[in-house]
Amino acid sequence: MSDLRELYQEVILDHGRKPRNFGPLEDANREGHGHNPLCGDKLDVHVKLHDGVVEDVKFEGAGCAISVASASLMTEALKGKPEAEARALFEKFHALTTGTEEIGLDELEALDKLAVFSGVRDYPLRVKCATLGWHTLNAALDQDEDMVVTE
């Protein structure tokens, strides 16, 4: 069994307690709604997409430390990134948290702070928490107004 601190790293605890970019986004033009029925977590992601670039992104909702910290760090990572890069980053993040493929050093670098979620791969039941914000972001970018449900 891995150490709990691998999962609950200081950065995660910090962002879980004090999420960044948390709240409404007035001039958002993309909205996503996410729900994890297993634990009742609900997150909304607001995106301001302009000329294919994520100019601003914020989120709101309630969830566990993992899901809130993940959404918080996601918003920090995405600001100013082209949409295609944002989607590619989710692919890398997904691979990191599920452990489905080896992550190269280059990719770890690209993930930057998001690499703190590597511990999640030892907790298959918590992968949904870590990816809820990202799935919701994807729905926003796809202009899918339906609730994203992770089950």
Partner 1 sequence: MTAETKIVPASGFDVERIRADFPILAKPVYDKRLVFLDSAASAQKPQAVIDAETYVYESEYANIHRGVYLLSQQATVAYDNARKKVAGLLNAASAREIVFTRNATESINLVASSWGRANLREGDQVILSQMEHHANIVPWQMLREEIGIELVVIPINDAGELVWEDYEQAFTSRTKLVTMTHVSNALGTITPIAEIIRVAHGHGIPVLVDGSQAVPHMPVDVQALDADFYVFTGHKLYGPTGVGVLHAKAEHLEAMPPYQGGGDMIATVTFEKTTYADIPQKFEAGTPNIAGVVALGAAVDYVEALDRQAALDHEQALLAYATERLSAMNSITIYGTAAEKAAVVSFAIEGDHPHDIGTILDHEAIAVRAGHHCAQPVMDRFGIPATTRASFGIYNDFDDVDALIDGIARVQEIFG
Which residues, in sequence order, are CB contacts of 62 under 8 Å at separation 6+?
41, 42, 68
113 binds partner 1 (CB under 8 A): no
Interactions with partner 1, residue window 119-148 (CB under 8 A): 123, 125-126, 129
The nearer residue to partner 1, 28 or 74, going by C-beta atoms, is 74
In whole angstroms, how close is the CB of 47 to partner 1 at the nearest point?
24
Q: How many residues bind partner 1 (CB under 8 A)?
A: 20
| Angle at the Cα of 65 from the Cα atoms of 43 and 1, rounded to 5 degrees | 130
Q: What is the 3-state secondary structure (H, E, C) of 8-42?
A: CCHHHHHHHHCCCCECCCCCCCEEEEEEECCCCEE
In whole angstroms, how close is the CB of 65 to partner 1 at the nearest point?
5
User: How many Å apart are CA 151 and CA 9, to the nearest integer?
Assistant: 25
Q: How far is CA 44 from CA 19, 59, 71, 95, in A?
A: 14, 6, 10, 23
**Contact residue for partner 1 among 20, 22, 39, 99 (CB under 8 A):** 39
22 binds partner 1 (CB under 8 A): no
- 């948290």: which residue's tokens? 97
62 binds partner 1 (CB under 8 A): yes
Q: Phi and psi at residue 82, in whole multiples of 5°?
A: -60, 150
The nearer residue to partner 1, 32 or 63, going by C-beta atoms, is 63
**Contact residue for partner 1 among 54, 63, 130, 136 (CB under 8 A):** 63
Q: Interface residues with partner 1 (CB under 8 A)?
A: 1, 4, 7-8, 13, 17, 38-42, 62-66, 123, 125-126, 129
